[in-house]
Amino acid sequence: MRTFLRNLIFAAMALTVVVPGWVRGSEINTGLRGTVAIKGYDPVAYFTERRAVRGELTISHQWLGAIWRFSNENHKRLFSDNPVKYAPQYGGHCADGVALGFIVTDIDPEAWRIIDGKLYLNADEEAATDLEETEGQLERSKANWPRLRSKLLKQSE
């Protein structure tokens, strides 16, 4: 019952947040009105430090039309050499929301998982746990993403 209620609340949230934050022509989540990916957190730190770390305003890299911030120059270099390795899946949108079939842009950078070497961000810790522990949830997110990504790109044209 608790999961059902959470999913119902999540779906209602999506209706109000479905005006996604993305850079025109891109699926990258930049919040409702921004140009900075993943709320300014360093995507490389999730892998190297195993924690969420805010990036510095002065250390940034532009990729797919969004500004990515880093906590140090080495992380910036690692990302610019191989952004696909470090960028979050689904453009940084809530991975559990994608599994449920909708886009939620308001992610919590502290609610993350690395699964099979890929970074997944989520709206909250419960969503991150749901993505990781609910049987088939990750597979549903992978199956839903092409359709949702296409919708995002069409809306941004």
| Mean pLDDT, residues 64-70 | 96
pTM of this structure: 0.85
Residue 127, pLDDT above cutoff 90: yes
CB atoms within 10 A of CB 76: 20
Burial per residue of 20-31, b for 16 or more beta-carbon CB atoms within 10 angstroms, e otherwise = bbbbeebbbbbb
- DSSP at 24: T
Residue 74, pLDDT above cutoff 60: yes
| Mean pLDDT, residues 37-55 | 98
In 1-157, alpha helices (H) = 2-17, 45-48, 73-81, 83-86, 95-100, 125-133, 137-155
Q: What is the rounded CA–CA span in Å between residue 129 and residue 45?
A: 20
Rounded to the nearest integer, the mean pLDDT of the chain is 87
CA atoms within 13 A on the CB side of 153: 12
Confidence grade of residue 109 (pLDDT, cut at 50, 70, 90):
very high
| Mean pLDDT, residues 69-86 | 98
| Bridge partners of residue 119, in order along the sequence | 114
Q: Which of these ranges, 2-16, 42-56, 126-140, has the smallest mean pLDDT?
A: 2-16
